[in-house]
Amino acid sequence: MCGIVGAASSRNIVPVLVQGLQRLEYRGYDSCGVAVHAGGLTRTRTTSRVADLLTQVHDDQVEGLTGIAHTRWATHGAPVVHNAHPHFSYGPGEGPDSTKPPRVALVHNGIIENHEALRASLQARGYVFSSQTDTEVIAHLIDSHYDGDLFEAVKASVKQLHGAYAIAAICRDEPHRVIGARAGSPLILGVGADGTENFLASDAMALAGVTDQIVYLEEGDVVDLQPGKYWIVDRAHKPVARTVRTVQAHSGAAELGPYRHYMQKEIFEQPRAIGDTLEGVQGIVPELFDGVGQDGATGASAHRVFKAIDKVLILACGTSYYSGCAAKYWLEGIAKIPTQVEIASEYRYRDSVPDPKTLVVTITQSGETADTLAALKHARSLGMEHTLTICNVATSAMVRECKLAYITRAGVEIGVASTKAFTTQLAGLFLLTLALAQAKGRLSDADEARYLKEMRHLPVALQSVLALEPQLISWSEDFARKENALFLGRGLHYPIALEGALKLKEVTYIHAEAYAAGELKHGPLALVTSEMPVVAVAPNDALLEKLKSNLQEVRARGGVLYVLADRDTQIDSSEGIHVIRMPEHYGALSPLLHVVPLQLLAYHTACARGTDVDKPRNLAKSVTVE
Ligand code: AGP
C-alpha cells in the first residue's frame, strides 16, 4: 500500500528518494511521485512504474537537498496523475494555473475520515482543489495554519484530522526541513550516518543501504527533520526521546536468482524458511513466545500467560486468517483449548463477549495490517490483556503492540501473494499449539518428541513436494483456459482449500471459491459442469472416505476433478479425474505440505495467462489502511 520516503540532507537526495520508492514497490501502488525543494517546490508524478519516474527525474535533471516521495495505492480518487502524490497547496485563491508558486508539498498514507467536512471548510476559505483525494485536504490545511513555521503548522493540522495518517511535508519557505507525523499508519525516522542527513520512510526497507539507525515513531508523534538534527513531539505535543535501534533491513530486490518471479522464488524458499523458523527449537518451551521488550528488557513471560488463559482468540486477515483457521483444528484437537478465529475487519466492529482469560493471537506477515492492529486494540479495550503475535517482521507495529511474540523467519516476502509467510505462520502456530498443550499438561514427552521429529522433517518433505512442479505446470495449462474454479477440502484441509482458492484469484484473476466438501450438496453443486475444474485436497485422514463420496457427486455431474491425494490414498487418475500423488502422508502437519501444490498451480496458471504475478492488479502487499 502507499509508501513514503522523505529526506533532509546536504547532498542531492533525489536518487535516495526514488531508490527508496523502488524498495517500497512490493507494497503495491498505482502511481508515484517525488517533490523536492530546488529553489522552490517542484514535483514529478506518473501513473507508470517507479523506474519511469527515475527516468523522468533524470531526464529533467531534478535535484534537491530536501524532498518527499510517494507510491500511491488509490483509495479516494482514480489512479490518475492529478491524484498522485505529492500534493501542493498554493494558498487560498491560488491553484496550479496561478503564477504563484506552491507553498506546501505533502505525501500521505492512510485515510482521512473527515476529509469532506475539511474540504468544504477549506473551499469556503478560498482553497482550490485539483484532485479527488483526501490527502489534498491535509496540504491545504497545513497551508492554512502556516505562519512561518512548518512544524507548528503540521502540529495544528493533525489535531483536526480524524482517521489514519502517516504524512511528510515540505515548505517553499523552509528549504532544509521535512516534517512528518503519524497516527494509525506506519512511519519511521532514519538517522543519517554522519550527522548531515535524516530520513523518513514507511518502513526500514526503504532505507536499506542508506542508514540502519531507525526510530519507530509512535502513535501521534510529530517529527521535525533537518540535515543535522531531528526533534520529536508526542501526541500531546510534548518533546520526547525515542529509542534509536539498529535495524538490518534487506531490500531483497536484487535476489531473484534463477527464478522468473518473486512468487516462484518464495514458493521454492519454503524448505529454507521453515528450517530457519524452527532453528534452535530443541524442545517445546514457553520461552519461544516470550515478549521482545514490551514488558522490560526480556519482555512478558509466556509461561505465566499460558498457564493463566483458557481460550484462544485469533485475529487476522486474508492468508493469515486462513493460517488461523487451520490452527483452530490443532488448538482444539491437540491442546484442547477452545479457539475462535475472527476476520479482523469484522471483529473490530462487532459486539462480542470478551473473556479476560483469553489469549489474543494476531497473525500477520507484515505486522502493519491496519485492520489487524485495530482488532487487537479493540480486544484490549474489552479487557483482554494477554496478547501474542505470530509475525514475520520483528520491528513491526504489531510486535511492539503485543506482549508476546513469535517471529517467523520467512525472510522478506516481495510477491503480493503470500506463500512462505503462510507456511511459516503454520509452523509457528503448530509450535504454539504444542506449547499450550504442554502448559495445560496435555502433551506427553513421547508426543512432544514425535511432533518435533515430524517438524524437523518438514524441510525435506517440502523439497519432495516442490519436485511435483512439472505436474502442476501440466494442470495449469487446463486452468489457464477457465474462468471459474472450485476448491474442496475437509477438516484441517478446508482452510487449505480456502487458501488455494485465494492464491488462484489473486494472481490469475480466475474466479475461485472454496467449500468444505460436505457443503457441496447444500448449494455449490449447482455450479458444477465440465467447464468447472474442481480441486480437491485429499490427504489420507479420517475424513477421506467422506471426501471420496463428495468427489463422486462432482463426477456424476460431469465435473472434472484435480485431486491432491496422499501416496497411500486409493484414488487413481481416470476419465475426468487427474491425480497428483503427494510423496508422503504428513499427519497433523499435512496443511503445510498440501498448500504448496496449490501455490504452484496458481503461480503457473498466472504465468500461462500472462498476469503481473508479483504485483497483481488492485492489490497491495502491506494493507495499512482500513
Ligand atoms: C495474501 O496472499 C494476501 N496478499 C493477503 O490476503 C494478506 O495475507 C493479508 O492482507 C494480510 O496481511 P498480513 O499477513 O501482512 O497481515
Q: For ligand 1, say whether the CB of 389 is within 6 Å of any of its atoms.
A: no
Q: Which atom of ligand 1 sits closest to the CA of residue 506?
A: 2
- What digits encode the pLDDT tens for the residues 406-462? 999 898 898 999 999 999 999 999 999 999 999 999 999 999 999 999 999 999 999
Neighbours of 233 (CB within 10 A): 17
Q: Specify the pLDDT at position 300.
A: 61
Q: For ligand 1, say whether the CB of 320 is within 6 Å of any of its atoms.
A: yes
100 contacts 91 by C-beta, under 8 angstroms: yes
Chain-centre distance for alpha carbon 178? 27
Q: What's phi and psi for 199, nearest 5 deg?
A: -135, 160
137: left (phi over 0), alpha (psi -120 to 50) or beta: alpha
- Helices 115-124 and 135-145, axial angle in degrees (round to 10): 50
> What is the C-alpha separation between 579 and 537, in angstroms, rounded?
10
> What is the C-alpha separation between 135 and 376, in angstroms, rounded?
27
Q: Which atom of ligand 1 sits closest to the CA of residue 317?
A: 11
Q: Specify the pLDDT at position 626.
A: 76
What single-letter DSSP state applies at residue 561?
Answer: E
Strands 222-226 and 229-233: antiparallel
Q: Specify the pLDDT at position 554.
A: 85
Centre of ligand 1 from the C-alpha of residue 6, in Å: 26
Gyration radius of the chain over CA positions = 26
* Residue position matching grid coordinates 497473525: 363
Atom 10 of ligand 1, nearest CA residue: 318
- What digits encode the pLDDT tens for the residues 203-225? 888 998 999 999 989 889 999 99
Strands 560-566 and 533-538: parallel
Q: For ligand 1, say whether the CB of 364 is within 6 Å of any of its atoms.
A: yes
- Please, what are the domains in the chain? 2-246 (3.60.20.10), 262-466 (3.40.50.10490), 469-609 (3.40.50.10490)
- Reply yes or no on whether 155 is catalytic: no
Q: How far is CA 356 from CA 145, 379, 433, in A?
A: 45, 10, 20
Q: For ligand 1, say whether the CB of 366 is within 6 Å of any of its atoms.
A: yes
Q: How far is CA 544 from CA 168, 218, 488, 495, 563, in A?
A: 56, 50, 12, 16, 12
Centre of ligand 1 from the C-alpha of residue 418, in Å: 6
Neighbours of 607 (CB within 10 A): 19
Q: Which atom of ligand 1 sits closest to the CA of residue 365?
A: 14
Residue 66 pairs with which residues in a beta bridge?
A: 8, 37
Pocket test for ligand 1, best of 73, 317, 361, 396 (most atoms within 8 A of CB): 317
278 contacts 458 by C-beta, under 8 angstroms: yes
Q: For ligand 1, say whether the CB of 317 is within 6 Å of any of its atoms.
A: yes
Is residue 18 classed as helix, strand or coil in its secondary structure?
helix
- Helices 318-333 and 420-439, axial angle in degrees (round to 10): 30
> What is the C-alpha separation between 127 and 143, in angstroms, rounded?
10
Q: For ligand 1, say whether the CB of 373 is within 6 Å of any of its atoms.
A: no
- Reply yes or no on whether 2 is catalytic: yes
What single-letter DSSP state applies at residue 193?
Answer: T
Centre of ligand 1 from the C-alpha of residue 421, in Å: 9
Q: How far is CA 119 from CA 74, 114, 130, in A?
A: 18, 9, 12
Q: For ligand 1, say whether the CB of 365 is within 6 Å of any of its atoms.
A: yes
Q: For ligand 1, say whether the CB of 416 is within 6 Å of any of its atoms.
A: yes
Q: Which atom of ligand 1 sits closest to the CA of residue 417?
A: 2
Q: For ligand 1, say whether the CB of 524 is within 6 Å of any of its atoms.
A: no
> What is the C-alpha separation between 266 and 182, in angstroms, rounded?
32
Q: Specify the pLDDT at position 248.
A: 74
Q: For ligand 1, say whether the CB of 203 is within 6 Å of any of its atoms.
A: no
Q: Which atom of ligand 1 sits closest to the CA of residue 418?
A: 2
Burial 11-36 (b: 16+ CB within 10 A, else e): eebbebbbbbbbbbbbbbbbbbbbbb
- What digits encode the pLDDT tens for the residues 264-274? 999 999 999 99
Q: For ligand 1, say whether the CB of 418 is within 6 Å of any of its atoms.
A: yes
Pick out the chain residues at pLDDT < 70.
Answer: 249-254, 291-300
Q: Which atom of ligand 1 sits closest to the CA of residue 502?
A: 2
Q: What's phi and psi for 429, nearest 5 deg?
A: -70, -35
Q: Who contacts 570 (Cβ-Cβ below 8 Å, separation ≥6)? A: none
Centre of ligand 1 from the C-alpha of residue 319, in Å: 5
Pocket test for ligand 1, best of 1, 261, 266, 320 (most atoms within 8 A of CB): 320
Which is catalytic among the residues 2, 32, 171, 317?
2
